Amino acid sequence: MKKIYVREDWCLGCHLCEYYCANANLGGGDMWKNLKGKAIRPRIRVEGDNNVSFAVQCRHCDEPHCLKGCIAGAISIIEGVVSIDQNKCVGCCTCVLTCPYGCIVPTETGVMSKCELCVNNAGQAKKDKEGGIVGFIPACVQNCPNNAIVVEETEVTA
């Protein structure tokens, strides 16, 4: 399964990943049309200052506290990706409180969102020559100017 790693040695604190994330989760396309004049709600957050900084997003824990805590059963692991069913989420914020990394982000409508490795963002689909979808490239990974966020395949721990 895939995991995203951040490499704080190379993070510049430019915060661009936040904007690319917000844009990808608003359907992608022209960023200014999606984000102009709005407060963004990225699922990745950059911590630190100019000297030391790193991006934080969901770790896709093997035993997610958010999943255990969710009172509506809205969180599940789908092919290794900890995902929220926004139709089931009742906006109680239990997951926000239980995630040790602060990776759950409330949306404008009050239901929760979180990083799902961009697997639900059609704009981030990787396509083969025939146009078939072969995977998804996270927007933050794709657009980080200094390779400070990388996506790697990891062993599934039983």
Partner 1 sequence: MDLYVYPEFEVVRNEKKCICCQACSRQCANLVHSYDEATDCMEADDSKCVNCHRCVTLCPTKALKIVKSDHTFRPNANWSQATINELYLQANSGGVLLSSMGNPQPHPSYFDRLLLNASQVTNPSIDPLREPMETKVFLGRKTPVPPLEANNTTAVPEPYNPDGTLKTEMSPQIELSMPLMFSAMSYGSISYNAHASLARAATQLGICYNTGEGGLHKDFYQYGPNTIVQVASGRFGIHADYLDAGAAVEIKMGQGAKPGIGGHLPGKKNVGQVAQTRMTPEGSDAISPAPHHDIYSIEDLRQLVYSLKEATGNRKPIIVKIAAVHNVAAIASGIARSGADIIAIDGFRGGTGAAPTRIRDNVGIPIELALACVDARLRDEGIRDDVSLVVGGSIRSSADWIKAIALGADACYIATGALMALGCHLCRSCHTALCNWGIATQRPDLVKRLNPEIGTQHLVNLVHAWQHELKEVMGGMGINSVEALRGNRLMLRAVGMTKEEMNMLGVKMAGESA
Task: Report whether 38 contacts 26 (CB < 8 A).
Answer: no
Residues of the shown chain interacting with ligand SF4 in the complex, contacts defined by CB under 6 A: 11-17, 21, 24-25, 43-44, 46, 53, 55, 57-61, 64-66, 82, 99, 101, 103-104, 114-118, 138-140, 144, 146, 148-149
Q: Which residue lies nearer to ligand SF4 by CB, 128 or 142?
A: 142
Q: How many residues touch partner 1 (CB under 8 A)?
A: 23
Residues 98-157 that bind partner 1 (CB under 8 A): 143, 145-148
Interacting residue with partner 1 among 31, 93, 125, 137 (CB under 8 A):
31
Asked if 27 is part of the footprint of partner 1 (rule: CB under 8 A), the reply reads: no
Measured between alpha carbons, how far is 98 from 67 in angstroms, rounded to an integer? 9
CB atoms within 10 A of CB 117: 27
The residue (of 82 and 89) whose beta carbon lies closer to ligand SF4 is: 82
Contact 83, 76 (CB under 8 A): yes
**How many CA atoms lie less than 13 Å away from 119 in the CB half-sphere?**
19
SS3 assignment, position 106: strand
Secondary element (H or E) of residue 19: helix 16-24
- Interface residues with partner 1 (CB under 8 A) are 9-10, 12-16, 19-20, 23, 30-32, 35-37, 50-51, 143, 145-148
